C-alpha cells in the first residue's frame, strides 16, 4: 500500500492536477480507456512527486509534530532542585539527564555547594517522573568535575559525556549507571586530522546509530559542531564550521548549544538552549529538525520554553513524550491536553 504520509501537501496537489489533465486528455482521444494503463500512469506520477517531496524536505519543509513541540507545565514545578541546605548539592545547575528504563526514571545531575566548589555527580530515581528520591546524601562520583552531562546506553555499557573543569568535555563509563570510571578527555580532530584549536569544547550531546558515534559540541556557546567516531575514542569533524549556527533570529543570536538529539519517524530532532542577549541573561529551550544530522532547520515558533527554562531533554516513557528542563532546577512539561 502506498502511504500518503510521506508526501507534502504541494506534492499531493501536483499528483491530482497532473492526473486530472491526463485523464481529460485520454478521455477525449481514446473511447475506452485502458484501466491498467491509467493506473500505471498514476503510479509513475506519484513516484515523481515522491522525489519532489523528498527534495522539498531537504530544502527545509520537514514537519515539527505536536507531540515534540507543544507542552503544558506541570502544576507543581519544579519536580527536583538543590536542597538549599548545607549539603554537597545545595544547588544544581546545567544539563542533567534522564533515562526511562524498566518502568523507572533515572536522573543524573550536577550538584555543588557554592560557586567555588567542584561540581560533582548526583543520582536520583522516580517511579512517576515527578517525585524523586536521591540515591544517597553523597555524590555517586566525586573523583573529578562532572557537569552538563549526556548519558546513553550502548549494548551493556552506559556512557556519560560531560564537561570537566574549564568546559573540557570528557567521557565516563559504567556497567550500572551508578559506579562510574573516568575514560579521559575527548580527542576531537578537524577534517584534516589536526587537533581542534585550543580552548573549551563543552555541552557534549551524543547520538549512536549504525555503529557510528555522533558528537555535538559547542565552543563558547557560539555554535554547535558535529564530529563522528567509530569507537568513541577519536572524533573527526564532519565539517569545520558549525552545523547549527547562531541566529539569524533574535532568540538564539548570541548563544547556542545542543542538549539532546532524538529520532522520531525517520527524522532527527535536536533540542538546544540559546540566549538572545550578549550577557546571556536568560536562556531558552528550542528545537531543530534534520534528515542527516548535518543540515538543520530551526522550528519557526522557537523558543518552545522561555524564562530560563533551559537545557531541555525529551523523555519517552512508552506512552508519551515529556519535556524536562534541567537548569536551574528540574521542571516538567507534559504533553498538551494532559
pLDDT higher than 70, residue 13: no
SS3 317: coil
Provide the pLDDT for residue 171. Answer: 98
Over range 311-328, report the average pLDDT.
97
What secondary structure does DSSP assign to 44-56, as a single string? HHHHHHHHHHHHH
Over range 326-336, report the average pLDDT.
96
What is the H or E stretch that residue 68 is in?
helix 66-69
- Give the residue, 219 or 23, on which the prediction is more confident: 219
pLDDT digits (tens, 9 = 90+) for 156-196: 999 999 999 999 999 999 999 999 999 999 999 999 999 99
Provide the pLDDT for residue 62. Answer: 58
- Give the residue, 52 or 201, on which the prediction is more confident: 201
- CATH fold label, 66-335: Tachylectin-2; Chain A (2.115.10)
Banded pLDDT at 338 (limits 50, 70, 90): low
pLDDT digits (tens, 9 = 90+) for 242-267: 999 999 999 999 999 999 999 999 99
Provide the pLDDT for residue 115. Answer: 87
Q: What is the model's pTM?
A: 0.83
pLDDT digits (tens, 9 = 90+) for 180-191: 999 999 999 999
Q: How far apart are CA 259 and CA 311, in angstroms?
A: 6
Phi and psi at residue 85, to the nearest 5°: -130, -175
Over range 200-224, report the average pLDDT.
98
Provide the pLDDT for residue 217. Answer: 98
Mean pLDDT of all residues belonging to the chain: 87
| Residue for grid cell 508519551 | 320
Cα–chain center distance at 118: 27
Least confident range from 26-40, 121-135, 228-242: namely: 26-40
Q: How far apart are CA 206 and CA 226, in angstroms?
A: 10
What is each CA distance from 97 to 38, 311, 328, in whole angstroms? 55, 9, 13
Provide the residue ranges of all domains of the chain, joining segments of one domain with +.
Answer: 4-61, 66-335
Q: Residue 168: exposed, middle, or buried by beta-carbon count in 10 A (0-12, 13-18, 19+)? A: middle
SS3 168: strand
Least confident range from 61-75, 135-149, 212-226: namely: 61-75
State in Å, rounded, how far the first CA of the chain is from the last one.
Answer: 34
pLDDT digits (tens, 9 = 90+) for 108-117: 999 999 888 9
Amino acid at each position: 500500500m502506498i502511504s500518503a504520509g510521506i508526501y507534502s501537501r504541494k506534492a499531493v496537489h501536483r499528483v491530482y492536477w497532473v492526473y486530472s489533465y491526463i485523464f481529460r486528455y485520454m478521455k477525449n482521444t481514446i473511447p475506452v480507456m485502458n484501466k491498467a494503463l491509467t493506473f500505471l500512469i498514476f503510479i509513475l506520477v506519484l513516484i515523481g512527486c515522491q522525489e519532489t517531496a523528498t527534495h522539498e524536505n531537504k530544502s527545509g519543509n520537514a514537519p515539527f509534530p505536536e507531540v515534540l513541540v507543544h507542552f503544558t507545565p506541570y502544576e507543581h514545578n519544579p519536580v527536583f532542585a538543590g536542597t538549599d541546605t548545607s549539603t554537597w548539592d545545595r544547588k544544581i545547575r546545567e544539563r542533567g539527564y534522564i533515562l526511562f528504563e524498566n518502568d523507572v526514571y533515572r536522573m543524573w545531575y550536577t550538584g555543588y555547594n557554592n560557586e567555588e566548589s567542584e561540581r560533582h555527580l548526583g543520582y536520583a530515581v522516580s517511579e512517576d517522573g515527578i517525585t524523586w528520591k536521591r540515591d544517597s546524601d553523597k555524590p555517586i562520583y566525586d573523583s573529578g568535575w562532572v557537569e552538563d552531562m549526556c548519558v546513553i546506553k550502548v549494548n551493556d555499557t552506559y556512557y556519560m559525556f560531560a564537561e570537566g573543569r574549564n568546559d573540557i568535555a570528557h567521557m565516563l563509563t559504567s556497567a550500572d549507571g551508578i559506579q562510574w570510571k573516568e575514560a579521559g578527555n575527548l580527542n576531537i580532530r578537524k577534517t584534516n586530522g589536526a587537533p581542534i584549536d585550543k580552548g573549551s569544547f563543552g555541552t557534549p550531546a551524543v547520538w549512536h546509530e549504525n555503529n557510528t558515534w555522533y558528537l555535538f559540541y559547542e565552543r563558547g556557546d557560539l555554535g554547535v559542531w558535529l564530529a563522528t567516531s567509530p569507537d568513541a575514542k577519536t572524533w573527526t569533524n564532519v565539517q569545520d564550521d558549525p552545523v547549527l549556527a547562531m541566529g539569524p533570529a533574535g532568540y538564539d543570536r548570541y548563544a547556542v548549544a545542543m542538549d539532546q538529539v532524538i529520532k522520531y519517524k525517520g527524522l532527527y530532532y535536536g533540542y538546544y538552549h540559546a540566549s538572545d542577549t550578549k550577557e546571556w541573561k536568560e536562556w531558552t529551550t528550542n528545537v531543530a529538525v534534520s534528515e542527516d544530522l548535518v543540515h538543520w532547520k530551526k522550528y519557526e515558533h522557537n523558543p518552545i520554553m522561555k524564562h530560563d527554562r533551559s537545557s531541555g531533554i525529551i523523555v519517552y516513557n512508552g506512552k508519551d513524550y515529556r519535556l524536562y528542563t534541567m537548569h536551574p532546577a528540574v521542571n516538567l512539561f507534559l504533553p498538551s491536553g494532559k
